[in-house]
Each structure stands twice: as structure tokens, then as C-alpha cells.
Structure 1
Amino acid sequence: MNQLGRKRSRLEIWNLIAYLIVALYLVFLIFPLFKILRSSFDLSDGTRGLGNFERFFSDPYYFRTLVNSFEVSIVVTIFSLLLGVPLAYFYNLYEMKGKQFLQIVIILSSMSAPFIGAYAWILVLGRNGVITRFLESIFQFTMPNIYGFKGIVISLTTRLFPMVFLYTSGALKSIDNSLIEASQNLGVKGVKMFFKVIVPLCMPSLMAASLIVFMRAMADFGTPLMIGEGFRTFPVEIYNAYVGEVGQNFGFAAAISIVAILITALVFLAQKWVTSKFSFTINSMHSIESKKAKPGFNIFIHGYAYILVGIAMLPQVYLWFTSFKNTSSSGNVFLDGYSLMSYKEVARRGLLRTLKNTTIIGFLSVLIILVLAVFVSYLVVRRKSVKSQVIDTMSMIPYVLPGSVVGIALISSFNTKPLVLTGTVAIIIISMVIRRIPYTIRSSVAILGQIPISMEEAAISLGSSKIKTFFGITVPMMGNGIISGALLSWVTIITELSTSIILYTVNSQTLTVFTYVFVTRGSDGQAAAVATILSLFTIVSLTVFMLISKDKDVTM
């Protein structure tokens, strides 16, 4: 009987789900990473060894790409914190005109494809940008060069500081108003309260925001490729080694990928260690109440918020405007007047197909992410075991993987029998699930941790099965956290470039790849038109979220 009981325990539904999830991670994550590790030792002369790693670290050119990536990531993280934290502080602690509109614009400024943001900045401040031409013609003032390090930092900072805003806003909403009142009663007010009370209480979220900004800046492919010119970074070098800018070298691309994984993993572990030093819990009975600022300070906070957000959105708005300008037949030169010429041209060249691909890939990816994330979060929070800890660890591995690495790993693993996926839509969906599932898992784990287990136990004691209780009680209560994670996953999927550019074919082209093709051809009008459609896609997604979410504020 005891043996039968143990056998039933092993075959219990949640154990079966855990084994299935482990199997999926082993096939689609661990195996591809093992393949890319093995390929990193393949030398161009057909032998095996450490030559690729020696080449990377001994050649100043390649090692400089590592230094460049760190420089960009650190500076972008610092600037994003300096801009995003005060913005969240003003937004949550003070009454501001047009808060709902301001929040939507802040989120929109962060949700375009990175390379499109860089492309938009070129249209505004590039050598032939609209502001550059205006200043030269009216004031004979020559704008500083935006290309290279400066351009990458500007483009990434204006896109990533909203992430700091969202994380900080989420932290501020968890602070009990009595703490603010107590500090004010003790004479700690204004700037002093901000540094002595607010920043320490928000430190775990600030560390999480710093990590995600650093990781995104480190792994970004499109921005340095678009605006970096001679300033090369890690992801660009991986891509060039793989596609063969001066001769394809898969082994060297794999070696750089392994270095990238190790470095980002070390950064992630360091952040986790630092965050653990600031770990604490807060029971917020009364959320922070917005108060009216003094007239002079009120002007300052409104000016700071709207000018900052206006600068971040300016390139996108000009990109939308540009999409309606008349162009030559090639789309390279803008002419006088406005029309839908660029939109007609992209429609003729396959817009509907790429729109359909983007929708299908995005929808199926998010659906799979939601199902897996809900199961994984439940196993991690409610069914703690060795299996759940293994799953939790594997679920965070994609957090430190650059998109180009994921693409190369999948191609190297599934381009031969028994499972040939290269060139299919399926491999793109798998790559999107791998890269974006950590975000939804983290948000689901956070919300599930706040739901008392007693509610599930009560349902089970009344005769409900475990699975019925899970879908009928637990999942609905996790709804808002799941939706927030799904929104972030959806938007990052439909704006993804670094993985798609390696995996796509003509039949699986997405809107971001479609835009990139027009950009590389110099077809500015058509590129602007597709980028505008992609922005509209994002706006509709955000609107749907605001309509179905119980909490109208988007936080992380």
C-alpha cells in the first residue's frame, strides 16, 4: 500500500506538470545552450580548442566591444535612474494635471522597438535631421554629432527611463502613508525626505529596475547597429560574426555568445546579492496620498514631467509625421506635400503578410507564456520542492540571454533531423517564449505570493479538486499580475528585432524586421510608415490593457 501511495504521489497531477515543464526547458533551452557551448570550441581550421576565446580576449578590437557594452549599459542605467526616479516621485506624491495622459505617454515612449527609436533620433538630430537643418539655416549653429556613444546613450535612455518610472511607482504604491506623515512630523521633509525615507524604502525596486535597464542596454542590438556607426558593442559583433560581414565564423560567434552569457549572469547574480541586503516587507494599510504642491514647485514638477516626456516622445511623433510626407518612387527622398503614398507602397510590398505574422506570433507566444508562467509560478510558490527550484532557476536563465544568442542557439539545435524548425514560424515563437517568459513568471510569482493559501485549502476541503481550485480560484485572483506580465511580454514580442533578424524568412517576416529592411534600403518614407503602424499596434495594446485591468495604473 505504501508503494502504491508513493507511486500515486509521483503521478500526482502537479508532479506531472512539473516533469513536463522541466522537459520543455531541457529541450528548448538547456540543449540549445549546450550546443552553442560545444560550437564555441570549433575552430575555423576544423580543429577544436580555446582559440576563439583567445582571439576575443587577445585582440583589442574585440575586447573593446565588451568595454563599449559595459560603458553604454552603466551610463544608460545611471541616467535612467536620475530621470525616472524623480519623475515617479513627483507623479505619485503630488497632484498633477493630466496624470492619466502623462502615464500613457510615458509608457508609449518605452514601448517602441529600440532601433526604431534610434532611427527616429537620426531623423530629428542626425546629419540631415529636421532640427539639425533648422538650427543651421536659422542660427548657423552646427549640432554636435549624435552618432556613436552619445547617440546610443540618448536613444536608450529616453526609451528605458520609463521602466525605472514604472518600477519606482510600484514601490511607492506599497509604502504606507503613515511613514511619510511620521517623517514629516519629525521634520524630515522635501529633498531630505526623498533621500532619507523614499529612496531606502524603494531600494529593492530600484535595484530590480537597474538590472532590467542594464540588461536591456547590454543586450540591445538595433540601437548600436543603427546609430552607433563605428562604436561596436557585444550583440552587433555576435551578429556580424554569425551572418558573415567579413566571412561567417559560427564558432567565433558562439564563443562571443558564451562570454556574453557569463558576463550577464555575473551581473544578475551580483544584483541578486545586493538586493538581498535591502530585503524587507511593508504592510501598506494606507497608500500614499497625492498632495498639492506649492505654486513655484508645482510649476517645476509639471515642467520637469512634461518636458522630459516630450523630449522622449519627440522623435516618435516626428516619425509619425514623416510617414505622411510625399516621397520619391524609391521612398528615399521626401517631396513637398502629404499623402498616403508610403502606406500604399508598404501595403503593396507585403504589409498585410507581416502584420498577420506579427499578430499570430505575438498571440501564440503570449498564450504559451501565460500558460507556462501560471503553472511555473504556482509550482514555485505553492509546491516547493527540488523540481520547483530547478524550474525556477531555469526560468531565470533567459533573463540574461541576449536575443542574438537565443537565435543562434536555436538555429544550431534545430536545423537537422529529428526536429527541423529552422525557417519556420514555430522557431520564432519558441524564441519569443524563451526570451519573454521570465517577466510574466516574476509578476505572477509576486501576485501569487500575496494570495492567502487558506482560500485554496477551503475550496479543496469543500470537495473541489486541486486543478479545479487552481483554475476556478487561484488563476482569477492572479488576474491583474498575469495581465501586467502579459502586456509587457506582448509589447516586447511585437517590437523584437535581435532574435527575429536571425530567425526570419520571407514568409515569417514581422513588422520590426519589415521596418528594418526599409531602413537598411534607405527608404525613409516606407520605414516611417511601418514604424507608425507598429506604434499604433502598441497604443491599441495599451488601451486594451487599461480597459480590462482593475487597476488603471501600470506598474511593475
Structure 2
Amino acid sequence: MAYALSSPSQRVSSRPGQTAAVLVIALFLGVFLIVPAGTVIYTAFTDKGTGTFTFVNFFDFFGTDLFVRSFWNSVYVSGMSVVWATVLALPLAVLTTRFEFRGAIVIQTLGFVPLIMPPFVGAVAMQLLFGRNGTVNLLLNDRFGFKLPFMDGLNGVIFVQSLHYFPFILINLSTSLRNIDRSMEEAAQNLGASGFRLFRRIVFPLAMPGYLAGASLVFVKVFDDLATPLLLNVKDMLAPQAYLRVTSVGLTDPMGYVISVILIAVSIFAMWVSAIAMRGKDYSTVQRGGGGLSRRQLGTGESVVAYGVVMLILLLVLSPHIGLLLLSFATVWSFSPLPDAFTVAHYGRVFGESSLYIKNTLIYASLAGLIDVAVGGAIAYLVLRTRIVGRRWLDWAATSALAIPGVVLGIGYLRTFYGVTLPDGTPLAALWVMVVLALAIRRLPYALRACYAALQQISESLEEAAENLGATKFHTVRRIVLPLMMGGLLAGFVTSFSTAAVELSATLMLIQSNSDAPIAYGLYVFMQSPAGRGPGAALGVIAVVMVALCTLLSHYVIERRQKANGMAK
């Protein structure tokens, strides 16, 4: 007997379970994302005395020299970080995609390493290496009699942020370069274009979508970063000012909320500009089968120069990790190119006194990852497998978390939930579970995209066949969909876990007790004083190893998934 399989257009528009799922997810996003963000925006436009709608808070902001200077400093630091991140990423991307370059995979992998360490941790190591009395300047002063202001003021923030976030440009630009149709390059060469002119007029413009995607991410991440400027004692930037206003003046001060709204607006504006820059332009290719840029052999002299450039860049971008490792074993490291002696005592202190930070991190990041996978997987299923009203709004709402800086979300949680108390008088915002929810909201877009991609690769005919054989929708999802999505779910969980483990901005706002603090908070506390930087560096190494293991696990899961799909085909 033949069974007629239903087409996607014949999907059931809604079922009781689907409706309940939409309502639960909408409630979750509403309470823990929309309401806190909306509260921040509402407070920024509310007169403190009368409670009426007003723009006076914004007039006060733009009438205060400190805030205006902080705004332009943040724009300048973010813009220059994009410039220097491009300087670092462009040679690596071009050399590993356009030329027969031995070790290209290793270079691309090492280029990703900076992302697995929080930038504020690298800032301390960078001070020891490139600060006024750091290794490089001490050697320059001894040999040539001068020092360079690598880490002075805004220069230090730009330097650290460029080294940390340049992989966003490297990854996206490399992908775009690989996807360019070689026939377009060959056509340009036949018309006489070659060398730098070919790259400037043909290759780089065709790779522009990837570059702009990476550049906009760098700009937004730097603009919203809180801890790096604070650790480098640079307070005249927007994110530090928002934090300082709320923690020093209080939750009733409107300036903290005004700054938060500006942070959100600039984040959205940067993403919008990157989208507008590509609108109306055609970057598509017509490749069939192979494609990709043709790789050229390097001459002997070119190879020497190329490898020299690559080694210099890699040494530079890996210097925070080198400095952190040295500091974690150093007894004393001050006014000398290298530590005076080495010890393992810092690790003993960390495991003895700070194991609570590690335990809390494992709990918080694991719970946040599980929430993200559950919510992200449910949203992906509702969007791709149903026609229920409101499913697209769930997708947009969850993705909008990308535009909400961590410090803003933390301020929103304090404003929204601090006045809500438990029977014993404990404010809801003071509970550790609020840290978990903030971490989950911040990382939800990453897990959502992973779940979305995994579900897109599953044919609907498999579910339809199961239902035609008598399986209920619940059993179909449990026995067919979830097992086939497992690779994407695991990748989404690991991504959420590894990034939540080193999140500081929202955590710094919400932690009320040292007993509830995760690794990121512990790192920040340790790094505040010279005496604590050794143990802080040891804790930082542990955090890096933890995130690195999660990243490797993610790559392993994805690779296994791809192999399984290939064998199935």
C-alpha cells in the first residue's frame, strides 16, 4: 500500500504542543532578554524625578565632556582595532589561500588560538611584554636608547583588542577567498591584470562579504568590551563608564542607562552599515564542482619573505599566551626582560584556594549550554518544521541578543530583578542562577545557528515516513530528529559552554558574593593587584586549557558528523 507523503506546504500550522513550546520560549525570551533590555531603554528616556518621557538624559550625556570623550574614544579604539586586525589577518588569509603554502592548516589553526583566551587576561601579559617597562621596551632601551608606547592609554587597548579579535577577520576572509570562482581571476588575468592590481580590483572586492562580516564583529566586540580597558586603567570609554556609573553612583543614575542605549545603538548601527555596504552588489560565482582561487607557487625569495611575515605575525598574536604562561610560573617579574625565577606555587594556590571558581564555571557554563541547546533546538524546529504563527519572531528575538552588550544585559538584570525579593528578603538579581540565565541569553544565538544548520541537513521525508508508519510527532522527534541532530546539538553546546566560561561583562555586574564567582570573575579580581597576578595567570592558563579542550571537542564532533553524513550519502 502506497502512502502519500505530505509536502512542506501541507505542514500542520499548529498543534497544542507546538503552541505551548512557542509560549514557553516567548516567555523565557521576554522575561530574560526583552524586558531587561527594554527596562534599560525605558529608564534612559525617563525623567528621574517625574517619571515622564524625556530626552534630557541624552542632552546631559552629550553636554558632558567626559561622556563625549568616552564615546569618541570607543569609536576610535574600535575603528583602529579593525585596521590593525586587518593588517594581521590579511597576510595570513592571502598566503594560506592564494599560494601553495606548506603548513597552511597549522597557520590557520594557530591564528584561531587568540580567541580562546579572554582579552582582559591577555592585557596583563601584554603589559609585561610590551609595557613601558616590559620585555621589548627594556631591550630597545638597552640597545638603542628609546622606548615605544605600545601599551600607553588607548594604544594599549587597541593593541590588545587587535591581537585578540583579528581571527574574526581571518576566518571570514579566508572562507570568502576560498569560495571565489577561479574563472573570474583567470578572466582578469587574460585581460592583463596581475599582482597587486589583480588582488585590489578583482580578488579582494569579491571577498568583501567575508571581510565586512569579520570587520563588523571586531568593531562591535571591541566597542562593547568592558574588562580590558578597566584592567589597563583606561576609564574614559563607554563600557567602563556604564559600569562605573552603576556601581559607584547607583541603579537610579540615568547616565548608566543612557550609555547602555548608546552601546546597543552603535552595535546595531555597525551591523546595519556592514549590510548596507553589500546591498545592491553581486558577489555570486558560477562555479561548478571545483572552484576557488588558483594557487601559485612561491619563489625562493618570496618564500623566505612570506614565512618571515607569517612567523612574525604568529609570534605577535601568540605573545599574550606566552606571557601568561611565563607569568603563571614566575616568582618575580618586574623591570626585567624575563622572570627572575620559576615556581609551581601559583598553581598550588589556585587549586587549593580557587577551586571554587573552577567548579562554579563548570556548573554555570554547563547549565547555560544546556539551556541554549534546548531553546535553540526548539526554535530551529519551530521555524523549519512548522507554520505556527510567531515562529519567526522567536528567531529574531533570540538572534537580537547579539546586539545586547554583556554590561547592558547585566545592568538590565539589576534594574529589573533587584527589586524582586524572595521571602527571606534576598533580591532575585543576587542569585547565582541569574548569572546562568545571563550567560545563556548571551550565547543563545551561537547555539541557535548550530541547531538550525543541523536541522536543515535532515530531510523532512524521514519524519514523514515515520509518521505515515504510525509514529506520533513526539516519538518522531525523539527517535528520528534528535539522534540525527546530535552532532549539531553537541557543537552548539560546546560553543556555548566554551564562550560562557570566560564571559565577564555580565558576570561582573551580577556577582554579589565571591562564593558564587566563576573563573572570569576570579581572574579579574586576581589581576587587580601585582601580588595576585601570578595565581591569576595560573587560573588564566587553566581557563585557556578548558576552552581549548572544548574547542577541540567541537571540531571533533563536527568532523565526525561530516564523516557520518558522507558515509550515509
TM-score by length of 1: 0.87
Q: Secondary structure at the match of 1:499?
A: helix
Report what 1:263 is aligned to: 266
Report what 1:137 is aligned to: 142
How many Å separate the matches in 2 of 1:13 and 1:219?
39
Task: Identify which of 505, 510, 535 aligns with 2:518.
Answer: 510
Report what 1:352 is aligned to: 355
| Pairing 1:352-371 to 2, within 5 Å after superposition | 352-371=355-374
Q: Is the 8 A contact 2:116 2:548 kept in 1?
A: no
How many Å separate the matches in 2 of 1:424 and 1:405?
18
Which letter does structure 1 place at the counterpart of 2:261? Answer: I
1:427 positional shift: 0.6
Q: Is the 8 A contact 1:436 1:493 kept in 2?
A: yes
Report what 1:163 is aligned to: 168
| Pairing 1:240-319 to 2, within 5 Å after superposition | 240-244=244-248, 249-278=252-281, 285-286=289-290, 288=292, 292-319=297-324
1:423 positional shift: 2.2
Which letter does structure 1 place at the counterpart of 2:392? Answer: Q
Are the structure 2 counterparts of residues 487 and 214 from structure 1 closer, same or farther at C-alpha, using a change threshold of 3 Å?
A: farther
Matched, 1:33 2:42: no
Are the structure 2 counterparts of residues 369 and 464 from structure 1 closer, same or farther at C-alpha, using a change threshold of 3 Å?
A: same
Matched, 1:399 2:399: no
| Pairing 1:421-500 to 2, within 5 Å after superposition | 421-446=428-453, 448-449=455-456, 453-454=460-461, 456-457=463-464, 460-461=467-468, 463-470=470-477, 473-474=480-481, 485-500=492-507
Q: Which piece of structure 1 moves more, 352-361 or 98-107?
A: 98-107
1:171 positional shift: 2.9
1:173 positional shift: 4.2
| Pairing 1:65-76 to 2, within 5 Å after superposition | 65-76=70-81
Report what 1:520 is aligned to: 528
1:94 positional shift: 2.9
Report what 2:342 is aligned to: 338
Are the structure 2 counterparts of residues 354 and 290 from structure 1 closer, same or farther at C-alpha, using a change threshold of 3 Å?
A: farther
How many Å separate the matches in 1 of 2:295 and 2:150?
42
Matched, 1:233 2:272: no
Q: Which piece of structure 1 moves more, 110-119 or 534-543?
A: 534-543
How many Å separate the matches in 1 of 2:387 and 2:276?
22
Which letter does structure 2 place at the counterpart of 1:507? Answer: S
Q: Is the 8 A contact 2:19 2:388 kept in 1?
A: no
1:97 positional shift: 3.1
Report what 1:213 is aligned to: 218
How many Å separate the matches in 2 of 1:226 and 1:41?
31
Q: Is the 8 A contact 2:18 2:388 kept in 1?
A: no
Q: Is the 8 A contact 2:13 2:388 kept in 1?
A: no
How many Å separate the matches in 2 of 1:488 and 1:116?
20
Q: Is the 8 A contact 2:154 2:234 kept in 1?
A: no
Which letter does structure 2 place at the counterpart of 1:253? Answer: G
Which letter does structure 2 place at the counterpart of 1:91? Answer: T
Provide Cα deviations, 1:258-314, integer angstroms capped at 9, x if missing partner. Answer: 222223223333333334434665566225375543333333332222221210111
How many Å separate the matches in 1 of 2:250 and 2:471?
62
Provide Cα deviations, 1:231-276, integer angstroms capped at 9, x if missing partner. Answer: x1111000000100x6775432122212222232233333333344
Matched, 1:11 2:15: yes
Sequence identity, in percent? 26
Q: Is the 8 A contact 1:440 1:485 kept in 2?
A: yes
1:178 positional shift: 5.3
Q: Is the 8 A contact 2:458 2:484 kept in 1?
A: yes
1:168 positional shift: 2.1
How many Å separate the matches in 2 of 1:411 and 1:268?
27
How many Å separate the matches in 1 of 2:203 and 2:282?
15
1:449 positional shift: 4.8
Provide Cα deviations, 1:373-416, integer angstroms capped at 9, x if missing partner. Answer: 22223333443554122112212221111111101111222224
Report what 2:7 is aligned to: none
Task: Identify which of 81, 99, 102 aligns with 1:94.
Answer: 99
Report what 1:111 is aligned to: 116
Are the structure 2 counterparts of residues 363 and 184 from structure 1 closer, same or farther at C-alpha, using a change threshold of 3 Å?
A: farther
How many Å separate the matches in 2 of 1:169 and 1:482?
26
Task: Identify which of 191, 201, 222 aligns with 2:206.
Answer: 201
Report what 2:508 is aligned to: 501
Which letter does structure 2 place at the counterpart of 1:438? Answer: P
Matched, 1:411 2:414: yes
Matched, 1:80 2:88: no
Are the structure 2 counterparts of residues 271 and 39 from structure 1 closer, same or farther at C-alpha, using a change threshold of 3 Å?
A: same
Which letter does structure 1 place at the counterpart of 2:522? Answer: F
Q: Secondary structure at the match of 1:297?
A: helix
How many Å separate the matches in 1 of 2:203 and 2:451?
26
Task: Identify which of 528, 536, 546 aligns with 2:545.
Answer: 536
1:340 positional shift: 0.9
How many Å separate the matches in 2 of 1:278 and 1:379?
32
Q: Is the 8 A contact 1:203 1:278 kept in 2?
A: no
Report what 1:63 is aligned to: 68
Are the structure 2 counterparts of residues 82 and 451 from structure 1 closer, same or farther at C-alpha, using a change threshold of 3 Å?
A: farther
Q: Is the 8 A contact 2:14 2:387 kept in 1?
A: no
Q: Is the 8 A contact 1:102 1:306 kept in 2?
A: no
TM-score by length of 2: 0.85
1:489 positional shift: 2.9
Q: Secondary structure at the match of 2:298?
A: coil
Which letter does structure 2 place at the counterpart of 1:341? Answer: A
Matched, 1:54 2:63: no
Q: Is the 8 A contact 1:366 1:486 kept in 2?
A: yes
How many Å separate the matches in 1 of 2:190 and 2:468?
49
Which letter does structure 1 place at the counterpart of 2:548? Answer: I
How many Å separate the matches in 1 of 2:282 and 2:476?
32
How many Å separate the matches in 1 of 2:474 and 2:298?
51
Task: Identify which of 541, 548, 553 aligns with 2:557.
Answer: 548
Q: Secondary structure at the match of 1:141?
A: coil
Q: Is the 8 A contact 2:13 2:386 kept in 1?
A: no
- Which stretches in structure 2 are left out of the alignment for 5+ residues? 1-11, 563-569
Q: Which piece of structure 1 moves more, 188-197 or 40-49?
A: 40-49
- Which stretches in structure 1 are left out of the alignment for 5+ residues? 1-7, 329-333
Q: Is the 8 A contact 1:327 1:342 kept in 2?
A: no
How many Å separate the matches in 1 of 2:179 and 2:61?
46
How many Å separate the matches in 1 of 2:404 and 2:19?
28
Provide Cα deviations, 1:504-542, integer angstroms capped at 9, x if missing partner. Answer: 121221112111111112222222222122122222222
Report what 1:331 is aligned to: none
Q: Which piece of structure 1 moves more, 34-43 or 407-416?
A: 34-43
Q: Which piece of structure 1 moves more, 220-229 or 278-287?
A: 278-287
How many Å separate the matches in 1 of 2:529 and 2:107?
35
Report what 2:566 is aligned to: none
Are the structure 2 counterparts of residues 104 and 227 from structure 1 closer, same or farther at C-alpha, using a change threshold of 3 Å?
A: same
Report what 1:390 is aligned to: 393
Which letter does structure 2 place at the counterpart of 1:337? Answer: A
Are the structure 2 counterparts of residues 45 and 387 from structure 1 closer, same or farther at C-alpha, using a change threshold of 3 Å?
A: closer
Q: Which piece of structure 1 moves more, 218-227 or 338-347?
A: 338-347
Which letter does structure 1 place at the counterpart of 2:515? Answer: N
Provide Cα deviations, 1:304-333, integer angstroms capped at 9, x if missing partner. Answer: 2222121011122022012111259xxxxx
